[in-house]
Structures are given as structure tokens and as C-alpha cells.
Amino acid sequence: MAALVTAERLSFAYGGGQRTRRRPLGPLALDRIDVAIEAGSSVGIVGGSGSGKSTLVRVLCGLLPAADGEVRFAGRDLGGWLAEDPAGFRRANQLVFQSPASAFDPRMRIGRSLREPVKAIERRTATDAELADWLAGVGLGPEVLARYPHQLSGGQLQRIAIARALSLHPRVLYADEPTSSLDVSVQAQVLNLLMARRDADTSLVLVSHDLAVVAHVCEQLIVMEDGRVVEAGSAERILADPASEAARRLIAAADAVSLA
Amino acid sequence: MMLEIRDLTVRIGTHEIVSISHFDLPRGRSLGLVGESGSGKTLTAMSLAGLQPHDAELTGSIRFDGDEVVGMGQRGLADLRRHKVGLVFQDPLRALNPTMRIGRQVGEAVRLADRGPREAVNGRVRELLRQVQLPDTREMLRRYPHQLSGGQRQRVLIAIAIAARPVLLIADEPTTALDTTVQREILELLTRLRAEEDMALMFVSHDLGVVRAVSDHLAVMYGGRLVEAGPTEEVIEYPRHHYTAALIAANPGRVGLGEGSRRRGTPLHTIPGTVPALGAFPTGCRFRGRCAAEIDRCASVPPVAGDGEHRYACWNPVQHDEEGVGDGSAGHG
């Protein structure tokens, strides 16, 4: 299977801009990364804080420009595509963040927030039936449409954020620590939802510091440390027989607080 | 008994946030106080040290080494916090003074506990740093909090908390903001310090797995009430309250592929509905309406049942068959 998203020797430095001959990059947040995400796969990116996992996701979904190296989406250069057709790019790449409370405009009712992406990208107004359908897909009823964000729980808001991201039928759904601010029983709802909505048309890239979460959801793993990919491949293989010290440490830390 | 709670209620405005009829904590025990957001676990733990919000109203009794904490004056509470109870919070950056060097902050805690000559204070500061596995160098003493990593800051906070050799260390989500690998180190440190100092540990967390790693006893809160308490392994293996069982079932399994790993990609157990807003909890059992095993009697407050140390408040507890496997009625939803 051809990879949908690929990065080759991708580097990034905060505040660094593009690499030029005269001006080298500052400290690298991403250091010559090679990754490949296949269509319809579920990929977990794990690592400690500062390992570069969130930065990688932000570059892959076009929120930060690559400073060096190549990122391609279905063979197409990411930077070029984003410059020529930002709407098309955004439609294909959606992101869900850690804090659902800051992902919604507090002054907008949920219905309006939920309509925004389709309005901005597809230039049309989503019908009430569509809204109800999207909400049903994340286990919520249409009564939340009239609510404001502060009237909903963190778990409900995160599910709505996922519904909003999926409303554009993205090819890749990126989720950056989507359950870190949620309670365990609510985390289970959100993870179930992410697992259920991943299919042949929508790949899932899940970033988490919690290996137990990623191990439950993802078939593929990318293990990061100090801005580098230290190990990547089948989750089953890496969990059973980790090759890197970083993966071994993460597994030991997760098993130390396991309930099984 | 070091700590005895009887008929404790904590009210804020018209809402009764915590209601605990009976709870004891013996000297030297490590207890995990578990609950999700809004369960009242933090308010309970803070009330033990007289650190509840100003508008909170306590009734009932909290006896600490025989002294009544409810209604205790500021002087008494300050004394309690200075000598008997150490506190560690989730966010060490907010708990430390950003303008003060580490050495001075730890030294302040040492002097508050026991005034002594400067050399003795400095010696004790270095000893504390060694105990929390930080380098006891001059360079470390001269650092400011922002020059430390999150894990190092939490170690400094722990050093301050144990400076007075407290009989109880209350740690409220001390590892929630940390990386999993750093979390593991801090949990090991707390476990070792608890044994070395022979102090009781009350570890407050939303995460059962984390609590299991540090505590030999467990108390589970929901809706401001204790729903189940007992030896950690027994409660996790044979939960009797349906909320406890559901909480356990909601956790992803073991990471390694050994026994106990859940199947990747299979749905995790969820709890139907959401935690009600303050004041909107049902009468009787507070888990009513979200529980799969509800019966008519649940409309009245369930009595505390159970034998030995394993106690639970449920009219229709989870049954475990002879092989010790849950009957499967818990946590499906």
C-alpha cells in the first residue's frame, strides 16, 4: 500500500524559519524525521514531553511549515498544496486538540461552531439533518446545538470537537492528546469514538504521552525522543520486542501504573 | 487511630459537596483516594488540613491524633500543617515561590519545623535533597524553580512537604502533569519515603492505575461520598460497588502483550450518562441513573456493608463467583 502521508528528512526549529545556505537552523524540534502514514491506518505517536510529537503533527497537518526536508500528501508537496488550495488541504487534514474548552468560541452556540468548517471550506450551510447526524455519530443528541460551550462537560465538548473535525470527511484525523484532560470513564468514550470512526477513508494519527491509550487504539507506533524518531512500526511488534531504550522506558512506565 | 472522620459534611453555599459518615486512617498506611472530577476527593483531602475554601462549611468530626480539626482555630491549624501534615500539589510551579532559590525555600520549611543553628538547617536541607534524589550541590541550592524540570520541581515540593517529618503526607494528583516515565520515578520516590519516614500517605488521584502503584489501601469517592474502600489489590480484583467496577473496566489494559492485555481496538467500557452537576445528584445512591444494576431500593441511601476492611455502600453489589471472576454485570454500558 502506498503511503498517504510521507515525511523525508523533515526538520523544524521554532523561530527558525526556512533553512538557507547563510543561516542554519536553531535548536531542532524535529531532526531529520522520516515517517510514512498509510491510508486507513491508525498510527500512534508516543514520547515524553519535548520529544517533538506535537510539533510533528503540526507540521504534518500544515499548521507549521517544514524548515527542511520533504512532506508529501498522496505524492503532492504539502507546502505547495497548502499555498494553492488551502481549503482542499484543510478538508483532508483535520486536527483535534487536548483542551476542548479552548477549541470552541465561548460566545458561539454549539450549532454555529459545528457549522463553521463546512461554511468556511465548502461554502455552504450545513442542514439541521446533517448536524443531527454528525452529533449522533458521536453519541449526542441535537439538544446540545443550542447550548454554549460552558454548559457542556469536557467529554461532551471533546466529542463535539471530533464531530466537527469529521464533518469535512478528512483523509487524516490528527488527535493531539485528546483525552489527557478527561476523566478515565470519559476517556473511554472518546477513545471508542476515535476507534469507531477510523475507516478505510479516514486515517487516525493519535498523539499521547500515555502508551496504554495508544497501545489500545493504534496498529502502528512512532516512538519519538529529542526530536527524532527512534523507532517505528507495528505496535504489536514494538510492544512485544522494543528495539529502542525510549520505547522500553515508556512500556515500563505504563506497566508500572497498569491495572492488569 | 491517627485520623478519624465521623459524619463529616462539607457544604459550599446550599450544596453539600462531601458527606462521609465513617472513615479511619491508621498511622503509616498508604491510602489512595480515587474519584473523577467533581467527586469531592480534593475537597475532602484539603479539609483534613483545614485548607478548604473560605466559604466551605464543615460539620461533623475530623480527629487528627485525637485533636478535633473541624472548628479548630487558625493557630491550631497552622501548627497542624507545620508539624503533622505535609502537602504536595499537582502543579509544583504554582506551589513554589518563583523569586526564591530552591535552597532558601527548603530551608524555610526546615526552620518552620525546627529552629536551629544555620549549619544544622543547611545540613538538613542537603539531607532532604538527597532523600528526594536531587543533587545536594551548591549549584542546585542556588537554582530558581524555573530552572528545574517538572519532575525536579515536584521533588523539591516533596522535600519541603517532608521537612517537618509529618505523620501524614497528602499528595493531590502529584504526577498528573508529569511524563509517564517521570511519573514512575516520583511514585517510586513516594513509596520509598513513606516507608523510610514511617508516615501515612494519602494519594489523591483520578487514576486507579497510579493509585495502585503507591497505595496498599484504596478509597473510592463518587458524588461526594465514599462508595468503596479496602485493601487495594482486593478492591481492584473484586470490586463490589458498580462505580468502582465501571472505573476499572474503563481503563485500557496492560501495554505489554502478557496476561491481562485487552484486545487492541475493542471498545472500552464506558459509564452511561455524565456526572450530574452540583446539587443535581439523585437522592439515595448517588450513582443511581448511571448504574447497570439499579434496583428499587437504590432510591434510599445504601448502608455501608462488607466484612473486614473491604467496605462498600451498595444495595446490589457486584457478585464474584468462586473462581473470583466478576459476574460481568458491572461496567457494561
- C-alpha dihedral sign at B26, B176, A35, A68: negative
Q: Which of B208, B168, B31 is nearest to B88 (CA)?
A: B168
Q: Fill in the DSSP letter of residue A233.
A: E
Quick check: ipTM above 0.90?
no
Residues of B in contact with A100 (CB under 8 A): none
Phi-psi region of B65 (alpha: psi -120 to 50; beta: other; left: phi over 0): left
Tell if the CB–CB gap between B260 and A260 is shorter than 8 Å. Answer: yes
Instruction: Indicate left, alpha or beta for B198 from its phi (over 0: left) and psi (-120 to 50: alpha).
Output: left
CA distance B74 to A8: 63
Query: pLDDT grade, residue A17 (50/70/90)?
Result: low
Q: Is the dihedral of CA B23, B29, B33, B34 positive or negative?
A: negative
Neighbouring-strand partners of residue B229:
B219, B311
Whether CATH 3.40.50.300 fits A3-256: yes
Q: How far apart are CA A91 and CA B141, in angstroms?
A: 53
Whole-angstrom distance, CA of residue B48 vs CA of residue B76: 13
Please check whether residue B145 is in contact with residue B178, taking contact to mean a CB–CB distance below 8 angstroms. Answer: no
Copy the grid coordinates of residue A168. Answer: 469535512
Report whether B18 contacts B44 (CB < 8 A).
yes
Closest C-alpha to A57, from A161, A178, A198: A178
Where do we find the cell 508516543? A46
Instruction: Say whether B267 and A256 touch across the interface (CB within 8 A).
Output: no
Q: SS3 of A30, please?
A: strand
Q: How far apart are CA B236 and CA B293, in angstroms?
A: 19
The predicted pLDDT at position B255 comes to: 66
Q: For residue B333, what pLDDT is reported?
A: 34
Q: Is A188–B268 a contact, with Cβ atoms under 8 angstroms apart?
A: yes
Alpha-carbon distance values, A117 to A92, B187, B203 (Å): 12, 43, 43
Quickly state the pLDDT bin for A186 (edges 50, 70, 90).
Answer: confident
Looking at per-residue pLDDT, the higher value among A188 and A181 belongs to A188
pLDDT at A170 over 80: yes
As a residue count, chain A comes to: 260
Give the helix/strand (H/E) hosting B162: helix B150-162
Q: What percent of chain A clears pLDDT 70, i.e. is strictly above it?
A: 96
Query: Is the pLDDT confidence value at A126 over 70?
Result: yes
**Residue A136: φ, ψ to 5°:** -60, -35
Q: What is the pLDDT of residues A42-94, one digit of tens each?
A: 999 999 988 999 999 999 999 999 999 999 999 999 999 999 999 999 999 99
Q: Do B212 and A257 touch (CB under 8 A)?
A: yes
Residue ranges for chain B with pLDDT beneath 50: 259, 324-333
Whether B226 and B244 have beta carbons less than 8 Å apart is answered as no
pLDDT at B331: 40
- Between A228 and A16, the higher pLDDT residue: A228
Q: What is the pTM of this model?
A: 0.89
Chain A residue whose CA is closest to B248:
A259
* Integer Cα distance of B305 and B313 in angstroms: 6
Segment A196-209, tens digit of pLDDT: 988 889 999 999 98
pLDDT at position B324 is 46
Tell me the three state secondary structure of residue A227: coil
Nearest to B268 among A191, A235, A253 (CB): A191
Q: Are B236 and B52 in contact (CB under 8 A)?
A: no
A203 with A172: CB under 8 angstroms?
yes
Return the pLDDT at A26.
75
Residue extents of the structural domains in chain A:
3-256
How far, in whole angstroms, is CA B38 from its chain's centroid? 14
pLDDT at position A18 is: 65
Report chain A residues whose CB lies below 8 A from the CB of B179.
48-49, 209, 253
